[in-house]
Every structure is written in structure tokens, then in C-alpha cells.
Structure 1
Amino acid sequence: MSEFIVKRQFQGLLSTGIAATAICLCASIIFWPVWALLSKGILTILAGSGLQSAEPKVAAKLIANFAEGTFFFMVINSWVWQILLFGGYGKTYLTARQPYAGIWYTFVGLVTGLVFLLILAGFLGMWWKPFSLAILLTPKTAEEVHLAIEGWEIINFYTLAVLLAQIPAAALFHKWPFGGNIKAPWDGFGVMMTSTAIALLVWMGTVIPSLAKLQLGGHDIFSQPFGSWPAYLAFAQAFVWCFLIPAEGGEQYPMKLFAKKQPYMGIVGLLIALIGGLVIPPILRPVVGPLNLLPGVPVDLVITSLEISVIFFTLLWHHLFDDYPTAQMSPNQTTRIVIRIAIWVVGGFAWGVIWLKIFKMLPFGANDLGLGYPAAGMIAGQFVAIMMFVIMNTYFDKWPLVKKIPVESNKSATM
């Protein structure tokens, strides 16, 4: 492995984190309008006749679903696969220098996500008409536009399956049984294939039947998970946060209290996350409901947004603030883990309330700046910001705030 000389613009972890957060929020403000406008332009070229034949609101919904779907697959899903499952394999294939390594890996992610999306939709589209690439990308009539909207809504929920089924493979199970037993990239390939099979089961078992509105004898034969999609999303985000704790600063706790070897650690962690997913939303409902933070919006959707805000702050603290306080700052493990969790929860809920009050004013929230691009909205908007700072850390190594200069290059530069 190459050795690096690390040069920081700011010596303190907190100052670096604050500066990085500011950069990432600015990047979010720029990124979503550009992505959304490009998505709108591309779909308008591909499906111009279909969009013109549909009602303006229906056409706008298809454009929004297309923008979100491509973002989910090409940015979120691909990051999960590249960083968590493959461990960043191939990131320094061309060079270890930043920002070039980050630019290269961003390109790899975009292509990877697009290819997977085309394969998934193309395969299912051979039997399911809403998944047909011709319907999804080039609807010709108003009826086909409606079918395309159904298809994109179902496909977009695949990202939720990725979060629920594939992240735990790394965060809880540490890529067992492949990690440590098979060399890269084959360990990543093994966990990718296994977790993808589980993600497809989750997606097909909970999303496709419910969103597809299948009927038998004029009666709906499937109900929405947990009774409604907002309730399902509230469960899902609580579940996600609970299984992130061991990996994002919890130092393998709380699952390490009950098991210290795989796969037992992963099984225990999964059970803890499942309990958290089932318990947290009911606890929050009587607290959040009377606050009426967002009038007219179902309380479970508000809870979902608040839970994502806690996830936001947890990932922010891990990726940009380096799990402050570190072991050097706080030698007592229990103390530093409790401090981190307190920061995540207090900071997350504070940010969550602020987000609900300002997301309609933000370009990566619900403000289209008068340009007519599809807004990310209350839920997806936070994921836009989350992806900016996880990408800054994992693809770009916090460049330009932290610069890792290879020792060999540094020596040659001083000769």
C-alpha cells in the first residue's frame, strides 16, 4: 500500500467537519437543480410525444419519478454497492491523487447504477408492462405515461430494499461469510449477489404487489405494509438507524454485548434493529402528533422525516466529524459512545424540526427556483444532502479540506 502525507486545512476535527458540512450543503444546492433539469431534458427528448399527450400534472409526475429513480440508482444504490459491499475496490485504479480518484469513482458509480437499473427494468419488463423500457423511457400516449408512472414508483422503492437488505450485510454481518475468507473483489461479489437476492425478495414481497394494485374478482388481494406507506417508511427508517449504530460510531455496540463472532453478531444486530423499527414509531406518534410540525401531512410521514434527520446527523458525524470524540479524546469507551449517540439524537431531531420548516425554501427540497424542475421534496431532499457528504468522504477523502499526498510523489516533487 502507498504511504501518504496528510495535510489538513483545519487541524481540529470539529472545524474540519463544520467546513465540510458547509461545502456539502452548497453542493446539494447546486447538485439537485442540475440533476433534475438534466433529467427533465433527457426525458423530454425521449418521451416528448407522450408527455405532451398527458395532462401537465401527470407529465410532471413522470418527470419527477424519472429524476428520483435515476438519482436513487445511480447515486445512492451504487454508493452502497461500491463502498459498503466492495469496500471501495477500484477507486485508485487510475490514480490515488484527489480529486481525480473521486471523479473516476463517481463516474464508475453513475455507470454502475445505470446499468443495474436497465438490467432490472429490462428483465422484468419482458413480462410486466409497466417495467418495459419502452414504457419507462419512451411512452407514446397518455395511457403509457400513466403506466410509466406506476413502473417508476415501484422501481424507485427498490432503493428502500437496498437500504433494508444490503447495508446490514456490511454494517451488521461484516460481509460474512465472504469477508476475510475471499480476496477482493470476490468477497464483494459474493456479498453483493447474496444481499441482492434478499433485497429482491423484500422488494417483490412488500412493494410490487402493493403498488401494483393487483385485484382478484374485483377485490384488492394485497394490503400496504403496516397498513399504509407512511407507516412502513417510519418503520423502515427506524430500522435503518438502529442497524447503523454499531457501524457509524457505536464501535459494534449494542450487538457486541450479546455476541462477539459472526454470524451471531449480525443476527443479534438485526433483531435489535427490528425491535427498534417496531418500537420507535409508536413511541414518537403521541409526541410528534400534537406538535403539528407540518399541518396536513400524515404524522407517520413527519416521523419518517425526523428519523431520516437522525440518520442524516449520524452519518454526518461519522463521515465529516470522524466520530468525534475519538478514542484519544475520550479513552472510556462507554462515555464516548454515549456522547456520540446523544449528539446524533439531539442534533438529528433539532435538524429534523428545522428541515420541516425550511425544506420548501431549499433548491434540494421543494423549491424549484422558478425553473420548473422536479423538486426532491421532504423525504428525498435529505438523501440528496446525505449523499453529498458520504461521497465527499468516501470518494474524495474529504478533499480539498484533507489532502493525502502519496509519499513517492511528495519525494519526487522535492527533488
Structure 2
Amino acid sequence: MNRTVALSLTTLLLLVACDTGPEPGITGISAVVVANLPSSVGLQQWETKPAADFVNGNLGANNSDYSEGESVPFQLDVGGLSTAGNPYTFSICRDFSNGTKRGYLFLASFNTSRAADPGGTITSTSGPISGVNERETIISINSSGAATAFVLWGGHLASPIDIFETQQVGAGNGAASFPGSSLHMSLLSPSKDRSINPAAIIQLATITVQKIVDLGSATPDKFCFNISANPNSETLPKCPPSGGNSVTFLSLPTGSYTITETSPADYAFASGSGTNCTFSGSTATASATAATTPTNATCVFHNGLRTGTLRVKKHVVNDNGGAKSAADFQLHVKSGVTEVTGSPAAGSETGTVYTLTVGSYVVSEDGAPTGYAQTGFSGDCNSTGAVTVVAGAEKTCTITNDDVAAQLTVIKHVVNSFGGTATAADFTMS
């Protein structure tokens, strides 16, 4: 059926009390009755099943499958209004909030999300503030006297990702979580009311991504995440708030989503786990289902500082009769003044291998055994034993000690107690 609207419409942004009191912080609001429509007008809303059409009744699981974020189409049958009554002014009231829960967040075009029969439209933003739990938009129309005429609009079902007064509605606060069994759209006068059962509204799914840093001083809020697909066109990558350790992707339709991360320098993915989330390397795949009881997903990314290896060798040269081996020397690897795990250790000609986070270290040894002298460092250590470990690579430092040749000291002592004058240098030793 092709529906036409032979009306001129004006949306009046006036403050009118739809319920018992003003919004907190709003003063000076009084009830203003601005309705001269006859009681014969009819208010209908769009059912989506079994046969999509405007109906006079209410909506529930048996005749609707709206999701949070969609708009329910409404039509007001104003056919046959006399032109003598122009302009006709009336108030559309909607259940807007209950505590932190949001219902019909704003009015929209009647065919924003569902292909209701075409016709004229009214649109507004959030409308004027009126009461604590309801908000109202006042409409003024001029009838052309046509027998068939409708005013059409949509009621936007709040979604967690919607922005209200600069903040997101938030998880668990969308229209599907609105308290009670009825979410209302009504005329103030004449009194007309249509409702939808919040329990019949499909909740969009949520994916929560958590960061755990297993090793290193970086905080979780330094790691950020990307999602694909990105149905809500969120700005990516998305990072935890300062001091936080997780991000949440809200209002997701049923589907499979790929989650990847960005990490600070020198940090690497270690492992992953989660609920309805699997990992292939550092890439997570989350499965989420929108439903009246949605299936959400949680992905946990574990990261730590990248590591490299350091091989410390002890080489002993015994070319002067020495008998010491590498194991007779005690070697140290320190980060600053702190011994790394496994240090100190006995020396080894093949080397002792340390797995270390990237950074600077110092290799040293205890004092050499008697008869041996250190001849220096070689490999990746500098002359003081300093070395830098890098991710994914092995550095090698070798400390060499040589046995010192034995010495015989022969002392010539001359006694000149009877007038002799010879000195030690006057004698030849052999």
C-alpha cells in the first residue's frame, strides 16, 4: 500500500511535562497542554512478523525482532482532518530513561532501519527535556483535508554504543535492558499508547579484550587493539583507559571478528585465552551472537618483554704448566647490581646460556685462582664486560685466563765484614 502525507509539518522544540517531574537540574517547567487532535486519530507501530505491517497492538517476541540500535516505525492516522482546525498541535511522548537504562533515545525517520510503507516523515534529535523518565517532542501539522493522511516517525531503540550527553549509553544499558515489560511511545492528548516488550528486543553482542603483561614494566594501557569487521566504525586502535587493562567492543551483530593488537617496542605476544575466542598466533578470532540473550566473547592477550640469549664462555690457557679448567672459575652476569637467574655459575668452555629480556648486562668473574691472570674479554662484550642483549638473537662473551709462568728468584748476598768491597753485581749467576 502506498501511503501519502498531505500535510505540512513543524517540529516544535518546547518543554512540556510528559510525566510527574522535571529532569534533575531543569527548573521552571510547567505542564502545557497543546493538543487539539480529535480522539478518532489512530496510533500504530510496525510489526516485523509474521507479516510486516502497521498494527494497532503492542509488540513482543511473537510479532517483532527489532535489535538495539534500530528504529521502530510509527504512524499517526490523521486522515480527514478539517482544514478549519489548522494548525493541529500534539505531543509525542516516549519512555526515555529509567536510572541508567535508556529506552527510545531519540526520534528518527520512520524508515531508518525497516522498510515500512513510504510516506511523509518527521525527524528530531533528542527532543526537548521534560520529565525524569520521559521526553517529548511537540508536532504541529496543517491538514489539506485529504481522507488518507499519516504522520510517520521512528523511535530509536537505545544501543550501548549510542552517545547520550557526550557519553556512551554503555553495556547493559540499552533498550533491551529497560526495566519492566513495556517500553512506551504515546500521544499525550488524545491519549494513545503503543509499547514494545524490552525482553523481545535483540541485544547486540559484546567483545571484551583484556591485556595481561607477564614480564616487563609496561602497563596494560600501553597496548591497543584492532577489530575487523568494524560495524560501528570505531576509531582504531582502541586502547584501555589510563590505569585500565581492557577494552570493550559494543553493539556487535552476530558474526566472527578478528582481534589484533599493537604493542610497545620490545614486547611480544606470549599466549592467548578466552571465552568464545580462539587464537592463531597473536591473532584472535571471537564469535559473538546477538539475541535476546546474547552470546558475548572475551579474549585475553598475554604479552611480555622480548628475549634474547647470552652465552658466557670461560677459556683457560695452560701453556706454562697450569692445571686449572674452566669450571674452576666463577662467572657472573648482572643487570645493574642484580644477578640474573642462574648467576653466578661455574665457567664452561662451551658456554653457559642465559635467556634474558632485551637490555644491557655486565659479565664478570671472581678473582682468578693463584697462578692465572685474565687476559680480557672477546666476542660481543666490550673491554669492561658490558653487552647488550637483543630480541631473538644470541650474544656471546668469552673471558680468557692464562696460567702465569713459574719464576725462580735467586738472591746474591755479599758480606764484606773483613774489608772486602765486592757487590752482588760482581758475581755471575748460572
Mark yes or no: TM-score above 0.5: no
The one of the two structures with greater contact order (alpha-carbon pairs below 8 A, sep at least 6) is 1
Relative to the length of structure 1, the TM-score reads 0.20
Name the larger-Rg structure: 2
